[in-house]
Each structure stands twice: as structure tokens, then as C-alpha cells.
Amino acid sequence: MNNSATSAGTALQLEGIDFSYATSSDGTNGQLYEGFSLCIEPGSIVAIMGASGSGKSTLGRIMAGVLTPQKGSVRRSPDFTQPSDIVYVDQHPMNDVFPWQTVLENVRYPLEKLKWDGPRRRERICYLMTLFRLGALANAYPAHLSGGELQRLALSRCLSWRPKLVILDEPFSALDGKVKAEITSALHELALKDRTTMVLITHNVSDALALGMRCVVIANRPVRIISDLEFLNGFPRDNSSPDYDAMHQALISGIRDGLV
Amino acid sequence: MDWFKRNSRALLFFAALLALCAAVTALRLIDPIVLPSPWSVVRATPGMLRERLLADIGLTLGRVLAALAVAGVIGIPAGLFLGYRRRAYEVIEGPLHALRSIPASALFPLFLILAGVGETSIVALAAYPSLLVILVNTVTGASLANKRRLYQARLLNLTTLQVATDVLFYEALPNIFDGIRTAVSYSLVLVVAVEMFIGLGERGLGRSIYLYQSTYRIPETYGAIIVAGLIGILLNWAVTKAQEHMLRWLPNAHEDE
């Protein structure tokens, strides 16, 4: 496995990835990835779409370095010099926060540990608490928040230190439309402001279209790319536009093809 | 008022028990040497407290708290380390469980040889099983720590000490409290038992119970036993309050309010 740096102009490059979990429950060797390749440009927001069980989360963990492929290379940008430059945000937001810390402490803690100086830290905390509408909840504990509030907290914590690559694993799965729209807008603002590269892993076409600049549809066993589409619309998305409708249809048919 | 409402059943039970004792002793169904009347126990209490019991309560409580402090100061950090470095725990897991199987009271002669007859041996004997139970509970809690939160700790470049104090300690805290609750019972039982039988300086709650009984001051004997029970309840209440405060962030912490 090669973990060397990418050439300039690429945030992350997967080449010829093979990955399997040791043995599946039926006793067969489940080869999930075989010669899989994907390139992520810096500053882009890429939605990785696929049906449940298609190996999307595994891909996210390989990108983040949480899982190591058996074969192939994962090349990361030479700009990624610290472990904190790449962050994987779990689909269960409680896993991304410290439940024994209040909302404010959760946002502040990473910045303290990464030695942000006082004024810069305070400014960042203030910005995030406002952006994710957490101000009124500053002294609440995560367990006492609603699903949407908890997701906002998890994202503000994981994005607090301006990681260069953020992998978001199904961040909207348990949220209603209004909360999704709020979080999508906040994420988009952050991605632009911090020039963060984002990878959104989702099974939901609307979620992919709401945030993604590019949508990669995958199908499994072994995982392969069914379609790779650039999204031309601006932000926020106009879901009544013909472009949006065409993209929606293209993604749906991509997923259908993958299931065949 | 709320407290009375919440505990009405328990209070009713104790009132019924008291009434039964009063009836049994008033009718002389049981010899007063075996079971004195509740009123004679109440009458004996102020004198008993003045005579020696207040000082003995302080001494016994001090020994119990010292044993718990020793057990906590060693058991919690060691448990966090062993829970984090699971391989190290696997090496000592067998001997540790073997040690836990030996009744602590059976080791008392050994403690006397090692530490001599004194405060150290009493505290050490009570601390020993308390330490083991706190250690094992802490290991369990730390080894079940959320892997995603440990991944975050790695991202933030936390030192091993910071991982222990900022992550593992809190992850293990519910288990640590389970261990402390059991340790409180062990410590009190062992301190009182040892005081009864070695009577260091003839002081301590256990020694009081023994001396009252051996001089046939039966109401005082019962009074001292009740005081020992109340100390147990007080210690458990203190642990519960500390647990409620330190685990106020748990999902179900406010559900009963």
C-alpha cells in the first residue's frame, strides 16, 4: 500500500484500491473493492452516492485513513501535514462529540488542544456558534439536544479547526427537510470560507444534489463507479430548474443501473 | 414533603418493623437480652454518643475513606491504563481474578505480618478488595471506550495522559461509580470487622459494638449496629449524589427529575 503525496492540484487520489473485510458472515471472502480509483480535487464538494450496503462508508474510512486497503495507493495532498487535516464525520453524531462536555466546551476543546491562540479561538467559536445556531444551547449537554441540534454540534466541532478534507458520512440521515437545508447552507458557507474539500457520503439523491458540486454514483461487489457527474447549478440549488431535474434523473438512473 | 412522598413505602416498612419490635418486646415474646425494646435503644443512644460513639464514628469513617482513597488513587489510573493497553491487561487478568477470589478477610494475618498491628494494616485490608473492584470496573469501562472518540483524540494529537484524563476517564466513569459503590460496602464491612477483632487502641465503631455486646449492654449494642447501618446509608447516599453530579451529562440523567 502506497500512502505517498499526490501531485499538486489533487486533494486525494485513490488508485487501484483492493479492500475486503476478513470474512463475511456466510463464510465467503467478501471482496468489496477491486482496482478502485477516484480523484478528489481540492476545494471541491463531492457527493459519493450509492445504495445502502454498497460500501460508501468503507470508502470514506479508506479516504480518511481509518481503514487501510490491502492493495493500491491512497495519495493525499502534500498540504495535509497534520493528522487533523483530514477528518471523518461519523453518521452517528454522538460519536463525534464528547458527551461529558457542554456544547461550548465541545467546540472549544479541539481548538485549545490544537493550540489556537485566545482571540483567534474566540472569534472562531463565536462564528461557528452563530453559523450553526448553537448560541442558546452553549451550556447544554449533547444528550439533551434534539437530533438536528446534535448534528449541528458534531459538524461545528469537527469543522472547528479548519480541516482541509472533511468526509461527511450520511450527515443528514435522521434530519427533517428544514434542518437539512440549514445545515447544508452552513456547510456550503464553511467550505467556501475555509476552502475545505468536502466528501459527502449519502444514499439520498436530494442530499447529494443539495450540497455536491460533483456526484459520483457507485455500485458494489466489487465497487465501481456507475456515473460521475459535474453539477452546473449555483448555490443554493434551484430544485425547480431544468438542470436540477436533469441531474436528478441522471442520478436516479445511475443508481438503478448499479442495482441491476 | 416530596421526599416523604417518594419514600413513603420504605418509611411505612420501617414503621411496621418498629411497631412489630415494640409489640414483641412489650409482650415479652422474646427475651430483652436478645431483643431490647426500641425505646430502650433510643434512651441509650445519647449517652452512648457522649461516652465514645461520636469519636468512634469519626475514626471508622476516616479509615473507610482512607481505604477508598487509596483504592481510587491506585485503581482508577491503573484501570484506565490497562483498559487502554488491553494487551497489558490480558497478561495480568488471570492472576487478578485469582486474587479477587481470595476472601480479603483471609488475608488479614498476612497484612498484619506485612504492615504490623496498626492503622496501616486496617486501611490496607479494606483498600485491597476495594482497589481490585475499582480496578476491574475501570478496565471494563476504559476498554469499552467509544472508538470514534479515540480516533478524534488521535486527530487532535492528544498525549497518552490527555487521552486518559480527557477521554478514557469519562468513558469509564459510569463503571468507575459501579466499582466505588461496591468498594464502599467492602470497606465498611472490613473496617468494622477488623475493629471488632483486633481492637486497635480499643477504638472504632466495630470495637464499640463488640465491647457493648461483651458487657451485656444490649440496647447500646443495637444502637451502635444501627449507627453502623446509617453510616452505610450515608456513604451510599454520598456516592449517589456524586454520581448524579458527575454523570449529569448521561442521556437518562434528567429523566427521573
CATH of the domain at A50: 3.40.50.300
Which ipTM did the prediction report? 0.84
Answer yes or no: is pLDDT of B257 > 50: no
Same-domain check for residues A72 and A175:
yes
Q: In this predicted model, what pLDDT tens digit does every residue of A98-139 receive, in sequence order? A: 999 999 999 999 999 999 998 999 999 999 999 999 999 999
Task: Let me know whether A45 and A172 are in one domain.
Answer: yes
Q: Do B155 and A83 touch (CB under 8 A)?
A: yes
CB atoms within 10 A of CB A63: 24
Please give the Cα distance from A93 to A158 (Å, whole number): 10
Same domain, A75 and A123: no
Among chain B residues, the shortest Cα distance to A143 is held by B251
Look at B149 and A88 and tell me if their CB atoms are within 8 Å: no
CB atoms within 10 A of CB B256: 6
pLDDT grade for B203, boundaries at 50, 70 and 90: confident
8 A C-beta contact, residue A213 and residue A197: no
Q: pLDDT tens-digit profile of B149-177?
A: 999 999 999 999 999 999 999 999 999 99
User: Which residue range is the domain that position A127 belongs to?
Assistant: 93-162
In this structure, is residue A88 part of a structural domain?
no
Asked which of A108, A127, A162 is the last residue of a domain, the reply is A162
C-alpha cell at B223: 444502637
- Asked if the C-beta of B28 comes within 8 angstroms of chain A's C-beta atoms, the answer is no
Please tell me the pTM assigned to this model: 0.85
pLDDT at residue number A178 = 81
Cell numbers placing B29: 415474646
Highest mean pLDDT, choosing among A72-81, A176-185, B107-116: A72-81
Please report, for chain B, the start and end positions of each structural domain, with discontinuous segments joined by +.
51-246
Residues of chain A with Cβ-Cβ distance to B148 below 8 Å are 90, 92, 95-96
Most confident of the following: B55-59, B75-79, B84-88, B214-218: B75-79
Mean pLDDT throughout A236-254?
A: 80
B250/A142 CB distance under 8 A: no
**Whole-number Å distance between alpha carbons of A228 and A30:** 25
Residue B155, pLDDT score = 92
**Residues A11 and A76 placed together within one structural domain of the fold:** yes
Task: Categorize the per-residue pLDDT at A6 as very low, low, confident or very high, splitting at 50, 70 and 90.
Answer: low
Cβ–Cβ < 8 Å for A219, A52: no
3-state secondary structure of A22: coil
Examine the fold and report which residue of A135, A162, A189 is the final residue of a domain before the chain moves on.
A162
Interface with chain A: mutation pick from B147, B148, B169, B245, highest number of A CBs within 10 Å: B148
CATH fold group of domain B51-246: MetI-like fold (1.10.3720)
Within 8 A of A110 by CB-CB distance, chain B residues are 152, 156
Q: How many domains does chain A have?
A: 2
Query: What letter does residue A218 receive in the DSSP assignment?
Result: E
Picking from A132, A130, A154, the residue whose alpha carbon sits closest to that of residue A142 is A154
Spatial CA neighbour of B196 closest among B228, B218, B219, B223: B228
Are residues A70 and A168 part of one domain? yes
The angle formed by the CA atoms of residues A35, A36 and A38, to the nearest 5 degrees, is: 140
Residue B148 pLDDT > 80 = yes
